[in-house]
A and B are shown apart, each in its own frame.
Chain A
Amino acid sequence: MRGLMRWLWLVSLGLSLTGLAPASAQITEREVRLTLDPAMARGSPTAPVIIVEFSDYQ
């Protein structure tokens, strides 16, 4: 598998409430390092948009 695995960074945006009122909500970012196996990818490797799908066969 050496050489086949690549890495990509995915930034997940989420809302983190810091108080009771919605006005106090603030956006936080989380960065998670994901493995990418080219055999499990479709579409252009240079595409500007990446859709990551987490799925379950069953």
Chain B
Amino acid sequence: MLDRVLSEYRGKVRLVYKDFPLPGHTLARPAHEAARCAGAAGKYWEYHDRLFQAQPNFERADLLRYASDLGIPAEPFAQCLDGGRFRGLVEADIQQGRLLDVTGTPMFFINGQRIEGAAPFETFKAVIDEALRNVR
């Protein structure tokens, strides 16, 4: 659905992804850290898409295999993941979400306007169109 938004509003909309692994999802946090490690190798969005396809298989071996499948060098990726290189940045995203009263996912903010949950395209269109009118 967000692909459609980005396609239909090309040049007018930018999507920013923020990590918000929920407390009960014990395997989610390393998955978010792994995605950032993939980003360091220039493959953030490919890995991101792979994780959504692979839910909920996020054991360490799974995360390493997804990286390998995408051609990400194994050793630096494993060092990044095991060393917690991006642990602090994932935690920072969580804290920022909490400041915005994010309690569930997905949660969207379109120029500050909140949309909770997986809303249909028409909901996004209405909010984006209003935001575009406001910036003109």
Interface residues of A (CB under 8 A from B): 1, 8, 10-14, 30, 32-37, 39-45, 47-58
Contact A52 B132 (CB under 8 A): no
Chain A residue nearest to B102 in the complex (CB): A54
For the complex with contacts A1-B89, A56-B28, 20 further pairs of A-B residues with Cβ separation under 8 Å are A10-B100, A12-B114, A13-B112, A14-B114, A32-B99, A32-B100, A41-B17, A43-B14, A43-B15, A44-B11, A48-B132, A49-B9, A49-B111, A50-B15, A51-B5, A51-B124, A53-B18, A53-B107, A57-B32, A58-B25
Interface residues of B (CB under 8 A from A): 2, 5-6, 9-22, 25, 27-28, 31-32, 35-36, 39-40, 42, 44-45, 51-52, 55-56, 58, 89, 92-93, 96-97, 99-102, 105-114, 124, 128, 131-132, 135
Contact B55 A49 (CB under 8 A): no
CA distance A36 to B17 in the complex (A): 8
Contact B22 A56 (CB under 8 A): yes
Contact A12 B12 (CB under 8 A): no
Contact B97 A54 (CB under 8 A): yes
Contact B21 A35 (CB under 8 A): no
